Amino acid sequence: MAIIEKDAALVSRLRAELLAWYDNHGRDLPWRHGGRDPYRVWLSEVMLQQTTTAHAAPYYARFLELWPTVADLAAAADGEVMAQWAGLGYYARARRLLECARTVERDHAGRFPDSEAELLKLPGFGPYTAAAVAAIAFDRPANVVDGNIERIMARLYAIPTPLPAGRTFVREAAVRWVRDERAGDWPQALMDLANQICRPKSPLCLLCPLNAACDAFRDGKAESYPVKAAKVTKPRRYGVVFVVTDGVSVIVERREAKGLLGGMLGLPHTQWRAEPWQIDDVKPMFDLGYSDAGRYEHVFTHFALTQQVWIARVGSSAFADFLRHHNGWQALPLEHVKALPTVFTKALKSLLSLDHTPA
Ligand code: SF4
């Protein structure tokens, strides 16, 4: 398919109308209070990938309180940053966040480069983050396309190709609206339009400043775009997790630096494999008399996990004895277990009545 050009004068007029709408109706988000500080823009963009503004906001506030500048974050201990990130998911992103802060501090004298091309060279920067930081922090005319902007463009141009293949056309469409004027406000105005008007379900097309150029609205098919590809179900894996507690602490281990949840603290568990575990297959890490505490589901990016929980409640001297004889294991006080990745705090839910906010 080819993107059909819209009338240039119409695009310019509607662009100005959307920016005027944004001036009056834009959201009051915490990361819009810091001016155009590249550190804050970057931090919020990394946190907002794959999660909602409401979920990211308290993490953003906490990070800024602990590490108000990129220099502070660069100097932070890995373990502390990982612990503060817990609950946001995608821990590889947290590791790259630190790596990036240290690169900016070491190679760029603590200042983020101000062009999309240079930002793209930093650890953890993909095309989206580079474009978003270039636009929002440095007011560069970058083609910022996230899932929300994708939805608007797919509708404006009634793009029939399902995503992800349709992304080429979406990007081609989006760039036609990028201008030097208010370059940083433009993607934010689109994101707010997507949030308040061009919603996934029941878009409010009659209130939309772009409706005069919208092909999907004209055809009465706004909700049909973006066209969805047939759903692929994630493969399922199975595991058994071991909770050993003396009522004060639980046993945890530092995970390998590489791989899923690398470098984080976690509960000991079996391999996460394609076949369910039978009771006779599972060799508990230690002979402590476990009881079955049920099972739970957790969804990772690439697979869904069904995890069985075995709990051993032991006395304090047996617990201390056990720690003395097992190198690499450590005791984590129960009041700190919320810092563990969600896949493990779910295992402790029955023990602690933890509340789980979906990421
Ligand atoms: Fe979205 Fe409707 Fe506006 Fe088109 S007219 S961009 S479908 S809200």
Q: Is the CB of 222 under 6 A from ligand 1?
A: yes
Q: How far is the CA of 208 from the centre of ligand 1 (A)?
A: 6
CATH code reported for the domain at 236-352:
3.90.79.10
Q: Which band of pLDDT confidence, cut at 50, 70 and 90, is reported for residue 7?
A: confident
Establish whether domains 8-224 and 236-352 are of one fold.
no
Contact in structure between 61 and 30 (CB atoms under 8 Å)? yes
Site to substitute for ligand 1 among 196, 202, 208, 224, most atoms within 8 A of C-beta: 208
Return the pLDDT at 35: 81
**Res. 257: pLDDT tops 90:** no
pTM value?
0.72
Return the pLDDT at 119: 97
What is d(CA 37, CA 82) in angstroms, rounded to the nearest whole number? Answer: 23
Residue nearest atom 4 in ligand 1 by C-alpha distance: 214
Domain ranges of the chain: 8-224, 236-352
pLDDT tens digits, residue range 310-330? 998 889 988 988 888 877 889
Comparing 73 with 358, the larger pLDDT belongs to 73
Q: Which band of pLDDT confidence, cut at 50, 70 and 90, is reported for residue 357?
A: very low
Choose the CATH number for 8-224 among 3.40.50.300, 1.10.340.30, 1.10.3720.10, 1.10.510.10: 1.10.340.30
Mean pLDDT of 246-251: 92
What is d(CA 129, CA 37) in angstroms, rounded to the nearest whole number? Answer: 15
**Res. 356: pLDDT tops 50:** no
Q: How far is the CA of 197 from the centre of ligand 1 (A)?
A: 7
What mean pLDDT value characterizes the chain? 91
DSSP code of 359? -
pLDDT tens digits, residue range 279-302? 777 766 667 778 888 899 999 989
Mean pLDDT of 126-134: 96
The DSSP line for 191-233 is HHHHHHTS-SSS--GGG-TTGGG-HHHHTT-GGG-SPPPPP-P
Q: Which band of pLDDT confidence, cut at 50, 70 and 90, is reported for residue 354?
A: very low
- Of the given ranges (1-5, 42-46, 149-153, 206-210), which has the lowest mean pLDDT? 1-5
Q: Is the CB of 173 under 6 A from ligand 1?
A: no
pLDDT tens digits, residue range 43-101? 999 999 878 899 999 999 999 999 999 999 999 999 899 899 988 877 788 899 999 99
- For 10, residues 6+ apart whose C-beta sits below 8 A from its C-beta are 212, 213
Q: Which band of pLDDT confidence, cut at 50, 70 and 90, is reported for residue 359?
A: very low
pLDDT tens digits, residue range 233-248? 899 999 999 999 998 9
- For 330, residues 6+ apart whose C-beta sits below 8 A from its C-beta are 251, 252, 253, 254, 265, 323
Return the pLDDT at 355: 38
- Of the given ranges (5-14, 95-104, 136-145), which has the lowest mean pLDDT? 5-14
Give the chain's radius of gyration (CA, Å): 24
Return the pLDDT at 235: 95
Return the pLDDT at 286: 65
Look at the alpha carbons of 242, 248, 253, 254 in this order and tell me if their dihedral is positive or negative. positive
For residue 139, what are the CA distances in angstroms to 79, 143, 208, 275, 286? Answer: 34, 12, 25, 51, 58
Q: How far is the CA of 102 from the centre of ligand 1 (A)?
A: 42
Q: Is the CB of 210 under 6 A from ligand 1?
A: yes
